[in-house]
Chains A and B, each alone.
Chain A
Amino acid sequence: MSVAVPGEDIHASLSDVTRVYPGAAGTPAVHALGPVDLKLKRGEFFAVVGPSGCGKTTLLEVLAGLQQATAGTVTFEGRPIAGKVPDGIGVVFQEDASFPWLTVWDNAAFGLRRNGVDPAKIRRRVDDALAFMGLTDFARAYPAQLSGGMRQRVCISRTLVLQPRLILLDEPFGALDAQTRLLMGDEVLRLWRRTGATILLITHALDEAAMLSDRIGAMSARPGRFMEIVATGWPRERDSKIVSDAGFGEITGRLWDNLRGESMKSLGHSGVAAG
């Protein structure tokens, strides 16, 4: 078994990044995130865990360019990101973002058609992505005819066909049952190995983070900061069976040691959830 060794070059980074949401009339501003420093190595699988409302989603959206950082620098492939999603970044959201008015095939083809890609190429890439995600038999179905897990796979296919170099996953399995989540985790690992993309996964599930990632960032309660970054040392060729590995329990235990106090703090908060 070869140990996962992601490239050492920095693919995306956040330096001294903070995000403060201005308060609405009469309410104080919400300091949601930071300051945060993070360097994502090219080709690595990085997970972010933390208590509810700690700014995990804010971090992802700042890195994606969906939100602008209040302070600090965000870069992707050496270029700064400033409130606009750069080419090469794909995002899968927690909510069902499939388009109910389009078939599975048309959902997957959406971005390619928008980019004016040659129809033959679209067909090839979409068929390939649907086959990879096990959706070939459902290509003509509508999302409403699929289960929650399959709809999420449709969203992943839509991202996959664009061949992103950085894939951001915002709790994509949050709404699924535990068994389906494990299986979806296997599929994400397969996807990661095949595409060679860098993946940042936001999750509240410690086991999911421990199973999937090369490194895991444990965040504090709001305003979210990285308290510790844990390297798992898993081989690149891994799947959900790794949950029975002795090291798995050690990793989740270590993460919980970090997060227990922060989760308690988070429960004590009554303000606006930001992540």
Chain B
Amino acid sequence: MSRVGWIRIAVIAIAIALLEASCRLGLIDHRVVIPPSEMADALVHLLISGQDNDQILRTFGIVVLAAVISAIGGFALGVIIHALPRVRQSLDPFFATYYAVPIFIFYPVMIVIFGLSAIPIVLMGVATAIVAMIIATLNGLDRVPQVLTKVACVHRMGRIATALLLKLPAAAPHLFTGLKLAVSYAFIGVIASEFILAPAGLGRVISDAYTDFDNRKMYALMLLLIIVATVVNMFLHAVDQHLAERRGIGKA
């Protein structure tokens, strides 16, 4: 592992150790925060008991579904919008201000339309994530060097071959950034929606544990979320960094 990697691990380890010590020494009230070791212990017991595994699987399933829809849909919409400059011109201000609008205000509307099922949660995840993918696709396609279009002509390539063999790989780093953002935003959109209003899911279980003063369960599930989100993002980051280094973009 690189020196930077060791420093990163050391910073996290020190932070955890400080929190552990503060909790054990009574500097932080046990009713407010439990020690990290207790969180880990509670998480292991929770997972072994299987008590909330269906809720956990439901939530992660919805996150995956929302991320996949956002990535594919965002890419497709990005390609279409890029091909229609006037449409793009009219939509650009909306993209620029999209994340200034609290999307969660639309959740009640979705419940009215789709009922208290998983669909509104999936749609909230998609609504949170898809625009990031659209913007990344537009950025990626904007940055495809014009000379590649000439190279395609010299090789007598059609539009589809040019798109698949040249433009798509050339735009790939930006598309991957969009994918990373889409996954992160899908996580946020789904968990936050469940937390606020949904009748089921990990967010709901955390919210219930909070209401019931069940700190062990609440922190255990929060720890699970942090671990899963971090592992997924670290994996995507590692892939992104590998691609960037190969292309000489430098460490991401």
Contacts and interface: CB of A to CB of B under 8 A. Distances in A.
B155 interface: yes
B148 interface: yes
Interface string A105-126: 0000011001000000000000
Contact of A101 (B154, B156, B157, B172): B172
A143 B247 CA distance: 7
B154 A142 contact: no
A91 B150 contact: yes
A66 B154 contact: yes
Contacts of A85: 153-154, 156
Interface in B227-252: 246-249
A95 B170 CA distance: 15
Contacts of A93: 147, 150-151
Given A66-B154, A84-B156, A101-B172, A145 B248 contact: yes
Interface in B153-203: 153-157, 161, 165-166, 169-170, 172
Nearest to B145: A95
Given A101-B169, A114-B157, A66 B246 contact: no
Contacts of A97: 145, 147-148, 150-151
A101 B167 CA distance: 11
Contacts of B247: 100-101, 142, 144
A99 interface: yes
Contacts of A96: 147
Contacts of A89: 154
A90 interface: yes
Contact of A66 (B145, B150, B170): B150
A84 B152 CA distance: 11
A95 B146 CA distance: 9
A64 interface: yes
9 nearest A-B pairs in the assembled complex, by CB-CB distance: A144-B248, A95-B147, A100-B247, A101-B169, A97-B147, A91-B154, A97-B151, A93-B147, A85-B154
Contact of A100 (B147, B150, B154, B248): B248
Contact of B153 (A66, A100, A101): A66
Interface string B128-156: 00000000000000000111101101111
A101 B164 CA distance: 13
A101 B172 CA distance: 9
A93 B147 CA distance: 8
Contacts of A95: 145-147
B50 to A, nearest CB: 44
Interface in B66-123: none
Contacts of B166: 99
A99 B151 CA distance: 10
